[in-house]
Structure 1
Amino acid sequence: MSTTAGTEEISRGLLGSSAALSYDPETEVDWSAPLPADKHGLNPEWSVLYGTPLWREMTEEQRVTLTRHEVCSIMSTGIWFEMILQQLILRDQYVKDHASAEFRFALTEIADECRHSLMFARACEAMGVPAYFPRRPVVEAARLFKAVGTAEAAYGGILVAEEVLDVMQRDAMRDERVLDLVRTTSRIHVVEESRHMRFARAEIRDRVAGTGRLRRQAAAMSIAVVAYVIVTSLVNDGVFAAAGLDPARAREEARRNPHHHAMMRSSGAPLMRFLGGAGLLTRPASALYQRVHLL
């Protein structure tokens, strides 16, 4: 599919922004700094258990441990999903005009994502938290998705993954209760992912412009399925055991936690507005977003 003049112009601007403002985690993050025992991995209010009876019973040490494992679970899921998206983007850009700004920014984005994945991996290692992965059926289904997924699903996936986490990471950047390590990695990710989100919006507008009803319905549903998988994979059940909690009780209280549901809806609001404006917030798609409290 050819690139519209609008997407090409946006891509040129993003290339200029990337050249002017990009970060090298190797030098921007103080990897040798000690990790204070009382600092959280993410804002306590973003914990899936915040506000529950179980949260009130936990010691402060357990809360710190839980939030550190939660943020590392989110980072691990991010690494897994970015590896899928990089393959989808490469397939989409295969034999496209190498001189186009769109092609060059797509590869710039992939380079950014490689750095981000390395940064997140190193951050989890620094916090002493093991890698967390989605459930085995999800991992295996993703093997097929990354081989046959559409461009709409790829760029929609970028929006879902980054928009949902953007509010959380902006909160982490500003909160002195959070580890400096996480605050710095969040700042790097927020700045660079803002370009990726703008690129993804332009690509999605291109793909759905002038498409028929059936293709638009299919695109809307594929993006919603991606959103459902991402959101339900962010926090691995293993984080509860790591904090010394009863996993079954913690899982149930997290599932029913109205505070966390409200936080997710607030973080998903910009995404829902964009999808609605693009005609991609269909009734079946909306039902899936409601199940994961993005709508």
Structure 2
Amino acid sequence: MDAAVRGDVRSDVRSERRDGVVDTESVAARLLRSSEQLSYDPVVEVDWETPLDPSHHGTSPEWSTLYGTAYWDELTEEQRRELTRQESASVASTGIWFEMILQQMVLRDFYAKDPTDPAFQWALTEIADECRHSIMFARGAAKLGAPAYRPKRHVVELGRAFKTLAAGEAAYAAILVAEEVLDVMQRDWMRDDRVAPFVRTINNIHVVEESRHMRFARDEVLARMKGSGRLSREWNAFVIAVSAYAIVTSMVSPQVYTHVGLDRARALREAKANEQHHAMLRSSCTGLMEFLGSAGLLTKAARAIYRRAHLL
């Protein structure tokens, strides 16, 4: 892919405002035009045929949950590469899980609305993007030689309830949290020559196309927060923070360590105490936390949850 593909498309999808109010129709129209100009078919763009080269990582090593720990220092280079490949597959699997939640929430939000509205058409475009991304992630995880990593059962059930009940700013802010955290990680991975080329291409496609999704989610949150009362804001801030906690703590399954042949209990213990990884997560969420704060969604209770998830 050329430099244009690697570029950040956020400048092409700036929100338009009238009298300080988000003009969602203009934003959606702009996003539709951007989608027409810069979208990719993973079936064509990703090299699915070349066998996996075991000399490559699946993520930048610095993003591994064990990087910087005593356990990491004991691993062979082969084990480190396999660990990052399995962690990459686990993140992709978590992405599929949340993208399925996202699609259902967006469909429910736009059910029976005006199909001539650009926002309606953009919603369907976003769902189509997410379907392609989920298939892309699934094929990528399979090529990495990973099993089916899934969140813990209670998290799956919480997700089932969330996709059914969440609405308005809570739904769109939760979408934003998941996409923003992944965005920073994948921007690092897609530029890292140590990462398998097909994984870099997957990350690049996702970064480019999710830029539009994040822009729309931010504007939807701002539009729906207008006139929101204190109790509503407190409740939504709490729900969003809980969702963020569930997403971030589910990204790397404990099964990853078992699959790589590590001591699972020790790996979990060292990953949980890994300040280097916690710092990486916090750095990935700086912009997100600033946005949530400006939207009035960084309440005292929410801050406590974000700190527990190492996002703040």
The TM-score, its normalising length taken from structure 2, stands at 0.92
Q: Return the offset for 1:147.
A: 1.2
Partner of 1:230: 247
Q: Return the offset for 1:207.
A: 0.9
Report if the CA contact (8 A) 2:58-2:88 is conserved.
yes
AA of the residue aligned to 1:153: A
Report if the CA contact (8 A) 1:65-1:242 is conserved.
no
Q: Return the offset for 1:34.
A: 2.2
1:286 to 274, 293, 303: 303
Report if the CA contact (8 A) 1:49-1:253 is conserved.
yes
Alignment of 1:15 onto 2:13: no
| Secondary structure of 1:233's aligned partner | coil
AA of the residue aligned to 1:248: A
In structure 2, distance between residues paired with 1:151 and 1:126: 37
Partner of 1:243: 260
Partner of 2:222: 205
1:193 to 192, 200, 210: 210
In structure 1, distance between residues paired with 2:198 and 2:169: 34
In structure 2, distance between residues paired with 1:25 and 1:75: 15
CA deviations 1:211-259 (Å, max 9, x no partner) are: 1111111111111111000001000001111121100000010000010
Question: Cα RMSD over matched residues?
Answer: 1.0
In structure 1, distance between residues paired with 2:22 and 2:95: 31
In structure 2, distance between residues paired with 1:58 and 1:258: 19
User: Which runs of 5 or more structure 2 residues have no equivalent in the other structure?
Assistant: 1-20
1:173 to 176, 181, 190: 190
Partner of 1:119: 136
Q: Return the offset for 1:124.
A: 0.9
Alignment of 1:144 onto 2:161: yes
Q: Return the offset for 1:140.
A: 1.8
Q: Return the offset for 1:153.
A: 2.4
User: Which runs of 5 or more structure 1 residues have no equivalent in the other structure?
Assistant: none
Task: Identify the range of structure 1 (154-163 vs 278-287) with the bigger mean alpha-carbon deviation.
Answer: 154-163
Task: Identify the range of structure 1 (44-53 vs 99-108) with the bigger mean alpha-carbon deviation.
Answer: 99-108
Q: Return the offset for 1:200.
A: 0.0
CA deviations 1:79-124 (Å, max 9, x no partner) are: 0111011111111111221111111111100000000000000011
Alignment of 1:15-164 (within 5 A): 15-164=32-181
AA of the residue aligned to 2:57: H
Point out 4+ residue stretches in structure 1 off by more than 6 angstroms.
none
In structure 2, distance between residues paired with 1:79 and 1:18: 21
Partner of 1:183: 200
The change in CA–CA distance for 1:5 and 1:259 in structure 2 (over 3 A counts) is closer
The TM-score, its normalising length taken from structure 1, stands at 0.97
In structure 1, distance between residues paired with 2:278 and 2:144: 27
In structure 1, distance between residues paired with 2:61 and 2:223: 39
Identity score, percent:
61
| Secondary structure of 2:112's aligned partner | coil
Report if the CA contact (8 A) 1:89-1:151 is conserved.
no
Say how many residue pairs are matched: 292
